[in-house]
Amino acid sequence: MSVARQGDTQHAQLAAIRRLRGPAVPVADAASTDGGYAGLVTRTVAFSIDALIVNGAAALVGVTVGLGLSIMHLPSEADAVIAAVLGGLWIVWTVGYFAFFWSSTGQTPGDRVMRIVVRDVHERGPLKPRRAILRFVAVCLGAIPLLAGLLMMLWDERRRCFHDRTARTVVVYGPGEP
Amino acid sequence: MERDARRALTSNAERALIAGLDAVVTRMLEEDVIDHVLERAETVGVAQRIADRILDDGIAEQIADRAFSGPELERILASAFRSALPEELIAQLLASEAVWMLVDEIARSPSVTEAIAHQGNGFFEQVAAGARDRSRRADARVQRIAKRLRPLGPRSGEDGKPHLGGPASGGGPA
């Protein structure tokens, strides 16, 4: 009787652990989590590549629009409005870029080059779009106090930055990495 | 006296023979005898038989071996390259539209484009792999320096290995 109760208890415990851990990890994801947490330099390089892509595309569009507008004779007040609109578009583009990749594959192009993946701590998959946006906002906030929010990963056991803690994410080396 | 007479006779006979041959050849040329002979040879297939014989007996190989092993071919080629022939040949090739069509066709062929793309990807992947290796080493170095700077000293479990989520791993938001 007591043995049966002990078995039931174990089953219940295992079921609870499974529920808390979430669904089973796919093979590829499991492999990707074996490489360790991505470090500061790798993440900085990946972010630099992304920044280059985002700002390069924005600069290209800006120059094209600027050249187009220079043909027209617009009043000086219009310049300020256009600049504000373009600035707003740049913010939307930047947030959208990171939020899209973090919430779809968990890898921005820069992350893909450096073979690192952003993972949800609990669900072990890509983030939800809202969490991805939150993560990006936290990146900006963490960078304000002399990058302290980013450098804190050096003393975190799972190499988490401020935005990782805020959005409950970790960044791990992806598949194929030792 | 007799010897002189014999010599004169021989000389006259040679002259008469040459004159006769000359007359025969002239007559053959005038009457298109050679053309008839060649036509006849063509009809019978003499040229084909000769060619077959040369090829069957390995004479062609012997000729080729001799030509390639001897210095004659080198001299001929050297003289051909010294002449205006190569420039003329290249100029004619470049002027030919067929050549450009051929180049275009080759450039558009899937195997060539695939090979070019593969080479480009391979180069990019090589560069990226190098960057990844270096950044991984730099990660470890920076982490070691950070640990040394930490006033409390390293804690256990700071090996950079992941243990995602779950109560067993002590995961969850900070």
Alpha helix positions (H), chain B: 2-30, 33-44, 46-56, 59-69, 71-82, 85-95, 97-108, 110-149
A44: pLDDT confidence band, cut at 50, 70 and 90? very high
A positions 48-107 inside 8 Å of B (CB): none
Mean pLDDT across A111-131: 91
Tell which residue, A152, A14, A72, has the closest CA to residue B168.
A14
In the predicted structure, residue B170 carries a pLDDT above the cut 80: no
pLDDT of residue A146: 93
In the predicted structure, residue B66 carries a pLDDT above the cut 50: yes
Are A177 and B157 a contacting pair at CB < 8 A?
Answer: no
**Lowest mean pLDDT, pick from B53-57, B64-68, B108-112, B160-164:** B160-164
Mean pLDDT across A80-104: 94
pLDDT of residue B160: 54
In the predicted structure, residue A27 carries a pLDDT above the cut 80: no
A14: pLDDT confidence band, cut at 50, 70 and 90? low
CA B105 to chain centre: 19
Burial tier of B24 (Cβ tally within 10 Å: 0-12, 13-18, 19+)? exposed
Q: Which of B143, B158, B164, B169 to mutate to test the interface with A (most CBs of A within 10 A)?
A: B164
Reported pTM: 0.57
Are A40 and B142 a contacting pair at CB < 8 A?
Answer: yes
Q: From the list A17, A157, A170, which residue is nearest B164 (CB)? A: A170
pLDDT of residue A127: 92
Mean pLDDT across B129-135: 93
Shortest CA distance from B151: residue in chain A: A155
In the predicted structure, residue A34 carries a pLDDT above the cut 90: no
**Lowest mean pLDDT, pick from A88-102, B10-24, B29-43, B108-122:** B29-43
Mean pLDDT across B120-138: 91
pLDDT of residue B151: 61
- Provide, as residue numbers in chain A, all residues whose Cβ is less than 8 Å from the Cβ of B138: 39, 41-42
Q: CA–CA separation, B32 vs B34, rounded Å?
A: 5
